Structure 1
């Protein structure tokens, strides 16, 4: 089995209609697979106004808007006959599911009925989301659903070792492989720092800018971020807050951090400039499985203060590239930020150490790790490799 022998049906809940770390990784993966000779077809909900052009062949899956005020996300309605007809014509010999929603569950069932190997990838801590919307009591039930989902796959790809440990704690027994993430080192670099850009936002050259980077949604820990900023003000620690991103919780967040400079959504080299122009990144999220914003900040030479949770604990070296604190420990976060603010030499040391640590994270290496996992699964299922799907 070689890469050109692969015919991969990739199922995504959000391949390109909203820009986030998961679909960035998926699109880069598809480009890498095609460059290595594999054939890939992507099945995902779509919109008339996608965030960016898709990589590879994208097949629209019927979907409905996610309820509860998060209509920007869509849920696939399973596998209607039009999608199954397309799958039959494509005849995949491997199925990759990237989200544990209706479409992903149905895709696994479709593959299992045809003895086609399944690889599942884990991109975020879905089970943690509900606690931010007042329904945290459903979390045990969600974990049970996720356990069943990942136990139906032949291999689970997790970004980090800590994430693999989490799902094993749920009772997932499927073998795991790591699919790390990469960084665009040309874009995320200390050289991208711009004092002029900071000044345009009203941030002085001698002010310490504490940055937030990401979609402005509650599950990113916006409440903790705001509480820590309040604590910093109470302690008299001089700082400015720099917010890079947009999202449905923007107005709520702006009310909690009224003195913050909101730079809005940034993309491309503008995003690299925004990250490098921070003096530290504060990432209190516990939903990450890697923490793309954390790795990009480190590559840009920005010290990181983050939650001691999956993702960050695999990236941030406590006391070397930044600090880790227990997820909702407001005083501990404030202590860590205060130490960096008060000690420019420590900040410089963490900047250099983070930049050096991030140097080994490449998108090519990350995507090649997935390809190796695919080939390993296929070699363990030789009959499936020789018998592509033929039933509707």
Structure 2
């Protein structure tokens, strides 16, 4: 198959959606398909090609209030010219911005089958960015957009259930694997821990992700402070960047702020910690959870998305009832009481992660896209 992926986020940007889409493209190409990418041009692209597969660039515009990300323009005509030449069998639209709308229009006008994927709960970001009043019409737009394609791919069963309840049709699961060659206990670095000024016995709690309001970082910090009451020498490691970072650095100079990390360096930061607290309530999946599990960390997360699917409470990690802050903080006490079992729990987390094969996920995606094309 020839598939054109249209997206407004992709490496060199670093986020869960970008990494997932990169894995999709490289994985499908490795399976013998021809998948190329249409995306906004980024600063890094001026230095020459950064990927070994075809890419077509459109002009990018900054997203207000979300520095570092951008959306593409409403370039329907350009996409029609591009796809008349390339003649793809299917268009996969991964983001719902102006570029996605243009892609949907172009696909319909050219009679090319289109599928879509739902990666980000932007409608639930409203209370963090001041547009909570807009959540209902925004969901209406998403429903119109995705129902204009032949299938909508989501990362988990709870997102599937939510969207079906909102009137979305033909919702399919495109789950997430984890690269256990990259993420694993073999990446642990005592030299890195020494640079953090922690001893081998000092518990290091990690947070990895965008340092932004929608990630509920204040609750992660509350959880860490509660944990530190039981473990006075504990350190909090924050890996990532975002609009809240500067304020947090000023308020908590005792925390370790590692900034943005990639590849093996990111994997080493995961594996050199001991625990992973993630209090976000806006994920559609949460790749960082399975990456932390693969890295031999004891994970605490809310019981939805990746944690709902992959964490057995008290066995390979810990969970708290979704959006229940009191339950999340109480889980810290349970976690501390199980300190003697942390190595066993982390071992079980690694075993779980090792069973998350990208091959099986891509095979199912291939079958679902083939079915969508035939309908």
Shorter chain as normaliser: what TM range? over 0.9
3-state SS of paired residue (1:64):
strand
Instruction: Give me the whole-angstrom Cα distance separating, in 1, the residues matched to 2:217 and 2:98.
Output: 28
* Alignment match, 1:67: 64
Q: 2:329 aligned with 1:309, yes or no?
A: no
Contact persistence 2:230–2:336 (CA under 8 A)? no
1:274-312 Cα distance to aligned partner (Å, 9 max, x none)? 111221111111222221110011111211101223332
Structure 1 residue 213: deviation in Å? 0.7
More displaced stretch, 126-135 vs 93-102: 126-135
State the Cα distance separating 1:230 from its structure 2 match.
4.1
Q: Does the C-alpha gap of structure 1 residues 135 and 121 become closer, same or farther in structure 2, counting only changes over 3 Å? A: same
Task: Report the CA distance between 1:159 and its aligned residue.
Answer: 1.2
**Are 2:354 and 1:344 aligned?**
no
Matched residue SS, 2:186: helix
2:350 to 327, 350, 355: 355
Q: Distance in 1 between matches of 2:174 and 2:165?
A: 19
CA RMSD of aligned residues (A): 2.1
Q: In the alignment, what sits opposite 1:260?
A: 255
Superposition deviation, residue 328 in structure 1: 4.4
**Number of equivalences:** 372
Which of these residues, 194, 197, 200, is aligned with residue 195 of structure 2? 200
Equivalent position of 2:146 in the other structure? 150
Partner SS state of residue 200, structure 2: coil
Kindly state the Cα deviation for residue 91 of structure 1 after the two structures are TM-superposed: 1.6
2:368 counterpart residue number: 373
1:151-300 map, 5 Å:
151-172=147-168, 174-232=169-227, 235=229, 237-238=231-232, 239-300=234-295
Aligned residue for 1:131?
127
Alpha-carbon contact 1:216-1:246 (below 8 Å) kept: yes
CA displacement at 1:93 relative to structure 2 = 2.2
Counterpart in the other structure of 2:28: 33
Kindly state the Cα deviation for residue 362 of structure 1 after the two structures are TM-superposed.
2.4
CA contact (8 A) 1:276 1:301 kept: yes
Distance 1:317 1:272 in 2: 23
Local SS of the residue matching 1:49: helix
Does 2:54 correspond to 1:57? Answer: yes
Q: What TM-score, normalized to structure 2?
A: 0.92
The one of 85, 94, 105 equivalent to 2:81 is 85
List per-residue Cα deviations over 1:69-119 (Å, max 9, x = no partner): x23111111225333321221122211000111111221122123332211
Structure 2 residues without counterparts, runs of 5 or longer:
none
Cα distance change of structure 1 residues 346 and 335 upon mapping to structure 2, 3 Å threshold? farther
Cα distance, 1:152 vs structure 2: 1.3
Unaligned runs of 5+ in 1: 1-5, 381-392
2:43 counterpart of 1:20? no
Q: Verify the 8 A CA contact 2:9 2:39 in the aligned structure 1.
A: yes
Query: How many angstroms apart in 2 are the aligned matches of 1:191 and 1:308?
Result: 28
Shift of 1:256: 4.4
- More deviation, 45-54/356-365: 45-54
8 Å CA contact 2:275–2:298 kept in 1: the answer is yes
Give the structure 2 partner of residue 384 of structure 1: none
1:342 Cα offset (Å): 4.0
TM-score scaled by length of structure 1:
0.88
* Cα 1:135–1:227 shift into 2, 3 Å: farther
Secondary structure at the counterpart of residue 269 of structure 2: helix
Q: 1:297 to 1:60 in 2, by over 3 A?
A: same
